[in-house]
């Protein structure tokens, strides 16, 4: 008995050693042609895992082996962005946060050479012509000419197959139609996200509940608008503090706290402040407060505010309501990036911050009772539990709700149950198609589906073989079954991507001449063959 066990153990150990040695020797023994093995990276979420399950099957047809590694967002930043990207292909879904509607955002962040070092261009794509176009468009204040430049930039990306876009999935949320009416879905925000919250401005309560409850998984992170670090918290802060511009329900830029803006010349912009706005503490919003805000941001160089605001030379008061901006150089997205994101803080509160509260940087002040001029005011925040906003009935938008409750529910099942049991009115997270159908079946619930400018894409690494080879990249495009993936992962809720990061409905910026590449393994094989790739006896694709 004991002898038998020992013998078995020894045999097993020898087996392992033998297998290991063989594994080392075999590939080199088969000398000559080297087979293509791709190292891919994706998040440990169901969506990318599903994408790779389908994609690796199709790639196997082409004789391409894939080694997939799944990791966290932290790993993505630590290993791929901050260090030299060691993967051939990196998969990512980019959410539709509001600044990404601005057409140059994705193009610059994905493909500009300045974003290679520690930036989001971890595919190491370099094109001098593209870089030059991006620089020119940023300074082009005429929208029509700017559009032409951006279209050209997208053509270069298309020609070089600088990335493999897959789809833009729809955003689905739900609400209780017995209790709320007149919701206004917007691109990227749907009805429950605060980025472009027209539902919170215009929807009406139908019954007893005048302060609807929104469920979400994420908690607010801070009530200090300068410390707000992620998009949702920033969104809520911009409901409490008024920004100078906003997007309307069709994502067009419209005046908000600024009544109008006027581009005097390429580097001078005037804005006129809206009359009669008041902060939540009753004090009038003055042009002094507006100027103070810009000076404050420029003085403290808050990380969340520095990139775009660095372009401002100085700000001066022209008269009781007019503010003049002097820019260092012409800056096309001035309204979209600066006026849309800068909110007005009350000078009478912030002028002594941080010295009067005993911290070194204003970001370290919790700002427990934020006073802004926005359509909602924060009344209470219990971390990881809920926060409560009261409507500011003096605001020019005059919200119809009396307030909002935002409940933090850590699981999807919990959030869905809250709506089913009518313990919440608005589903503020993203639903998938199956969950949506389930909720739609209830008479008092309605789902809302809107296109989203988010994008799911795979980025090839230009510093590694074979993704550095233009023919290989072209062939790879044909191996992606975009429609099939959208059907499997999102039950077809969304649009397949064209060969540009800008969603086709983001008009006029998305270039309509850039095609969407159809799934065609035959074509992929042909391109690979023409480029000199061969297949070995086991059917593996080998380098030329």
Residues binding another protein (CB under 8 A):
71-79, 81-82, 95, 97, 99, 115, 117-120, 211, 213, 221-222, 224, 227, 229-231, 301, 303-304, 306-307, 361, 363-364, 366, 382-386, 388, 405, 407-411, 414, 417-418, 421, 423
Q: Which one, 82 or 465, has the nearer CB to another protein?
A: 82
Tell me whether residue 351 or residue 382 sits nearer to another protein (CB atom).
382
- Based on CB atoms, which residue is closest to another protein, 252 or 384? 384
What is residue 343's DSSP assignment? Answer: B
From 212, 159, 151, 224, select the one nearest 181 (Cα to Cα): 212
Q: Could you tell me the sign of the dihedral formed by the alpha carbons of 228, 231, 233, 239, in that order?
A: positive
Least distance in Å: CB of 244 to another protein? 18
Q: Are strands 322-327 and 312-317 parallel, antiparallel or unpaired?
A: antiparallel
| Three-state SS annotation for 157-182 | HHHHCCCEEEEEECEEEEEECCCEEC
Q: Supply the minimum distance, in Å, between the C-beta of residue 408 and another protein.
A: 7
C-alpha to C-alpha distances, 170 to 112, 218, 428, nearest whole angstrom: 27, 20, 14
Shortest Cβ 221–another protein spacing (Å): 6
Q: Least separation, in Å, of the C-beta of 20 and another protein?
A: 26
What's the closest the beta carbon of residue 8 comes to another protein, in angstroms? 32
**Helix (H), strand (E), coil (C) string for 254-311:** EECCEEEEEEEECCEEEEEECCCCECCCCCECCHHHHHHHHHHHHHHCCHHHHHHHCC
Alpha-carbon distance values, 437 to 46, 170, 186, 486 (Å) = 19, 14, 21, 17
Question: Closest approach of Cβ 218 to another protein, in Å?
Answer: 10
Residue 539: CB minimum distance to another protein, A: 35
3-state secondary structure (DSSP) of residue 98: helix
Q: Which H or E element spans position 29? A: helix 2-29
In angstroms, the CA 483 to CA 517 distance is 10
CB of 192 to another protein, least distance (A): 16
Considering the complex, state which of residue 82 and residue 129 has its C-beta at the smaller distance from another protein: 82
Which residue, among 256, 274, 266, has the nearest Cα to 326 in the 3D structure?
Answer: 266
Our CB check for another protein shows the closer of 313 and 385 to be 385
For residue 299, the tally of other CB atoms under 10 A from its CB is 9
In the complex with another protein, which residue's Cβ is closer, 185 or 370? 370
CB of 114 to another protein, least distance (A): 8
Whichever of 298 and 304 has its CB closer to another protein, that residue is 304
Dist. CA 209–CA 432, nearest whole Å = 27
Task: Let me know: does 172 contact 493? Beta carbons within 8 Å.
Answer: yes
Question: At its nearest, how many Å lie between another protein and the CB of residue 106?
Answer: 12
| Closer by beta carbon to another protein, 1 or else 307 | 307
Check: CB of residue 42 under 8 Å from CB of residue 55: no
Choose between 217 and 523: whose C-beta lies nearer to another protein: 217
Judged by CB, which is closer to another protein: 25, or 359?
A: 359
φ, ψ (nearest 5 deg) of residue 131: -55, -45
């Amino acid at each position: 008995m004991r002898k038998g066990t020992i013998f078995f153990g020894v045999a097993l150990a020898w087996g392992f050693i033998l297998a290991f040695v063989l594994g080392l020797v075999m590939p080199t023994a088969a000398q000559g042609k080297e087979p293509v093995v791709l190292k891919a990276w994706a998040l440990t979420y169901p969506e990318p895992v599903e994408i790779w399950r389908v994609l690796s099957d199709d790639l196997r047809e082409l004789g391409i082996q894939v080694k997939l590694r799944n990791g966290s967002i932290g790993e993505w930043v630590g290993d791929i962005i901050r260090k030299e990207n060691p993967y051939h292909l990196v998969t990512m879904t980019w959410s539709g946060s509001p600044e990404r509607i601005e057409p140059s955002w994705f193009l610059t962040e994905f493909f500009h050479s300045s974003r290679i070092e520690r930036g989001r261009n971890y595919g190491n794509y370099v094109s001098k012509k593209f870089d030059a176009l991006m620089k020119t468009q940023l300074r082009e204040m005429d929208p029509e000419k700017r559009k032409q430049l951006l279209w050209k930039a997208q053509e270069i990306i298309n020609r070089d197959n600088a990335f493999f876009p897959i789809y833009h999935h729809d955003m689905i949320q739900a609400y209780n139609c017995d209790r709320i009416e007149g919701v206004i879905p917007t691109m990227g925000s749907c009805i429950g996200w605060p980025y472009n919250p027209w539902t919170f401005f215009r929807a009406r309560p139908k019954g007893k509940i005048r302060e609807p409850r929104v469920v979400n998984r994420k908690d607010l992170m801070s009530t200090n608008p300068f410390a707000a670090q992620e998009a949702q918290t920033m969104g809520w802060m911009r409901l409490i503090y008024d920004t100078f511009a906003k997007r309307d329900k069709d994502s067009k830029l419209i005046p908000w706290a600024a009544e109008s803006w006027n581009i005097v010349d390429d580097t001078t912009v005037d804005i006129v402040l809206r009359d009669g706005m008041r902060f939540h503490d009753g004090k009038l919003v003055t042009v002094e407060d507006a100027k103070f805000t810009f000076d404050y941001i420029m003085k403290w160089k808050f990380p969340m505010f520095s990139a775009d605001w660095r372009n401002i030379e100085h700000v001066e008061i022209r008269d009781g309501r007019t503010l003049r901006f002097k820019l260092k150089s012409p800056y096309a997205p001035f309204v979209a990036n600066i006026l849309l994101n800068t909110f007005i803080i009350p000078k009478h509160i912030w002028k002594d911050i941080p010295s009067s509260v005993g911290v070194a940087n204003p970001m370290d002040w919790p700002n427990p009772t934020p006073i802004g001029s926005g359509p909602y005011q924060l009344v209470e925040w219990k971390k990881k539990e809920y926060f409560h906003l009261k409507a500011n009935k003096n605001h020019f938008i005059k919200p119809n709700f009396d307030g909002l409750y935002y409940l933090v529910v850590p699981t999807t099942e919990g959030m869905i149950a809250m709506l089913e049991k009518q313990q919440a009115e608005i589903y503020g997270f993203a639903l998938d198609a199956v969950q949506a159908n389930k909720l739609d079946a209830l008479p008092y619930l309605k789902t809302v589906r809107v296109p989203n400018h988010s994008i799911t894409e795979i980025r090839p690494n230009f510093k590694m073989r074979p993704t550095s080879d233009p023919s290989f990249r072209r062939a790879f495009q044909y191996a992606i079954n975009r429609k099939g993936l959208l059907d499997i992962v999102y039950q077809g809720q969304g649009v397949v991507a064209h060969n540009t990061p800008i969603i086709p409905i983001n008009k006029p910026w998305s270039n309509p001449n850039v095609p969407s590449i159809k799934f065609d393994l035959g074509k992929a094989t042909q391109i690979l063959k023409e480029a000199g790739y061969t297949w070995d006896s086991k059917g593996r694709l080998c380098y030329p």
